[in-house]
Structure 1
Amino acid sequence: MTQSKEVRWVRIGEFIVVSDETNKLNLDLPVMGLNKDKQMMPTVANLDGVNLSKYKVVGNGTFVFSGMQTGRDVCIRIVLATNPDPVLVSPAYTTFVLNPEKGLIPEYFFLWFDRNESDRYGWFISDSSVRSNLDWPRFLDIKIPVPYKDGEPDVERQREVVAVWQGLRRLKEENEALATPLLELCQAKMDELKHTAPMVTLGQYIEQTNIPNYSYGLSKELVMGMTITKEVIPTKAKIKDTDISKFKVVFPEEFIYNPRTHGAKIGLGMNDFNDPFLISWNNTSFKIMDKNEFNPTFLYIWFCRPEWDREACFRSWGSSTEVFAWKEFVTMKVPKPSIEVQRAIVDIYHCARQAKQIVEEASQQLKTICPALMQHIIHSDDVR
């Protein structure tokens, strides 16, 4: 018998069952809120004296919906709960599940709303005011594409699409879980070194480079800046008509820092690229004189510690603009364990950075994969 496959635009209200289960037993459960990224998070509301018996109980597989929006929001606030244990949400939210007999998978349903396109449509059909609202009846009238086979929702095709999305999401979550403890371990090891390794004066091991660009002629596309989070990024300054011959060339594993402090932070970075770049003439560039004494990345990790920033700001001088001068920079103390210990800590750091990079890439891909998967469904068969 020939199987009939198609994609139908169906009204979501046909699949939804409201499940407003309240906390009648006054269970001591965590209270959660929704954010615009379609995730649940611990509530920021003051719950002192609040009667939680009217709050709603949310278990795994339940949807939480809020039609309220602010003028800045262009989103439908909806979450698919994946928490293993029940939590509470505000009675202002609507909670619902999908009728299991209707053949629509919760994760597939959520995929449709985890898209910028759905958010824009939800904002478009919301009531217009200072705080717009997507009414529940209007929400129920939204239509989504569902694959059908022989007149019934095609569960297998839904699962195929969901599996792709879940695989990428799982990759992101696993590396998030890996990156954080590795970074914590790295910083814990640095803390230990304050008590187990000799503390030496930094100036014995570093020297300024400050090599002008007129000897190299690097292009303006290679002009970089640094952030207070110790990252090197393309400059945001307007340099179209700027003479960059006096800009400084920074080679791989060399450092840069801005003597001007920014609140409680010092702008600093390291060239961890394979090629040189340029920095503005008013920044300082320096390098380690002997890499058998100090590993550049080990020193960079030390510079990233909040304690380093606090001491550097304490040593800064000025009034409206404070300056952390080079003569103060070189008097700072740093731990100097064996080069083998330094490299071992750097290896942990690189593992954490790789995991963090995977998380960032997966996050970007998740933003595009939901629309792509839905477009695949929409255009795979005849749409009715």
Structure 2
Amino acid sequence: MRDNCKNILNREWLYIFFNRPEFDRFVITNSWGSSTEFYNWENICDISIDLPPLAIQQKYVNVYNAMVANQRAYERGLEDLKLTCDAYIEDLRRRIPCEAIGPYIERHDVRNGPNGTKNVMGVSTTKEFREPTSKVNRNDLANYKVVKPRQISFVQTTHNEKVFCNALNTTDEDIVVTSVNEVFSTNENKLLPEYLVMFFNRTEFDRYARYHSWGSARETFTWDDLVKVQIPIADMEVQRSIVDIYTVYKKRKAINEKLKAQIKAICPILIKGSIEEGSNTKEA
């Protein structure tokens, strides 16, 4: 921003102005081009804005910055919890002999059938269930695999995702996933699914899965590869203690995402409020 504009337009207020769904729709509507649509620098410069006085801009920027600071402070505490979980796992790896998980897990291949659930999900690179990114015919889910509560599903291919995509069904409802995914449960008298997922969700395991994937056109990490994975099988009391921390981490992670969504949602309110206050100030 030019120095002579700083007394007219607050750059952070302008960022909030841009960070609104209304502005996204404006840009999409006013983009131009054939195979690739553009909205360039000249288009940005031609935008007309009803600017409130600088002091009012700063007032609403302060509100936004306070919310962002609160969210970032919360996020830093969130990462501390994740590091605690990872440190527990690393400590166990040093103190307890590792065992193959094959004897503690059971593979499942239950198909949804013609009258099954329509609760179809994908397994994301963030290692959670999420809405499918591709179009899915929810009336044609008979061949999809069922993931019951407390069961785990994972994606066998690793060449595109670059991580071991897996997710634990923490809900009380069945989920269905594509038939190419694997689905399994753990023997909860010996191995908690949350504890196993914690191990899977480490970057070290992503590297392990990638290294042990095989294939030419499509690299895969299969069920046969999974059963050979070795981890420290701690006693159940220790597993539950670590899982309790992990559960708190997951809950706080969900809260953090809600905070981010709230910050995004408040941008239109802040811009509208600042413009209206600025208009009332001019009229007075």
Same fold (TM over 0.5): yes
Q: Structure 1: where are the runs of 5+ without partners? A: 1-64, 67-93, 99-103, 148-152
Partner of 2:179: 281
| TM-score (norm. length: structure 2) | 0.77
Structure 1 SS opposite 2:165: strand
Whether the 8 Å contact between 2:12 and 2:61 is mirrored in structure 1 is no
Quote the Cα distance in structure 1 between the aligned partners of 2:15 and 2:155: 44
Query: Is 2:212 the partner of 1:310?
Result: no
Counterpart mapping for 1:31-110 below 5 A? 65=1, 94=3, 110=12
Quote the Cα distance in structure 2 between the aligned partners of 1:337 and 1:231: 24
Counterpart mapping for 1:299-338 below 5 A? 299-338=196-235
Whether the 8 Å contact between 1:203 and 1:331 is mirrored in structure 2 is yes
Quote the Cα distance in structure 2 between the aligned partners of 1:342 and 1:95: 61
- Give the CA deviation at 1:204: 1.0
Whether the 8 Å contact between 1:200 and 1:334 is mirrored in structure 2 is yes
- Give the CA deviation at 1:250: 0.8
Q: What root-mean-square deviation, in Å, do the aligned CA atoms of Structure 1 and Structure 2 show?
A: 3.6
Partner of 1:11: none
Whether the 8 Å contact between 1:111 and 1:370 is mirrored in structure 2 is no
1:247 aligns with one of 144, 151, 154:
144
- Give the CA deviation at 1:163: 6.0
Deviations 1:327-353 (A, max 9, x none): 221111011112222222223223333
Whether the 8 Å contact between 2:111 and 2:142 is mirrored in structure 1 is yes
Whether the 8 Å contact between 1:198 and 1:337 is mirrored in structure 2 is no
Whether the 8 Å contact between 1:228 and 1:262 is mirrored in structure 2 is no
The structure richer in helix per residue is 2
Partner of 1:192: 91
1:267 aligns with one of 162, 165, 170:
165
- Give the CA deviation at 1:212: 1.4
Alignment CA distance shift 1:215-1:340 (3 Å): farther
Structure 1 SS opposite 2:134: coil
- Give the CA deviation at 1:109: 7.5
| TM-score (norm. length: structure 1) | 0.59
Partner of 2:74: 175
Query: Is 2:246 the partner of 1:349?
Result: yes
Partner of 2:33: none
- Percent identity of the aligned residues? 27
Higher relative contact order structure (alpha carbons within 8 Å, sequence separation ≥ 6): 2
Whether the 8 Å contact between 2:152 and 2:185 is mirrored in structure 1 is yes
Query: Is 2:274 the partner of 1:372?
Result: no
Q: Structure 2: where are the runs of 5+ without partners? A: 31-37
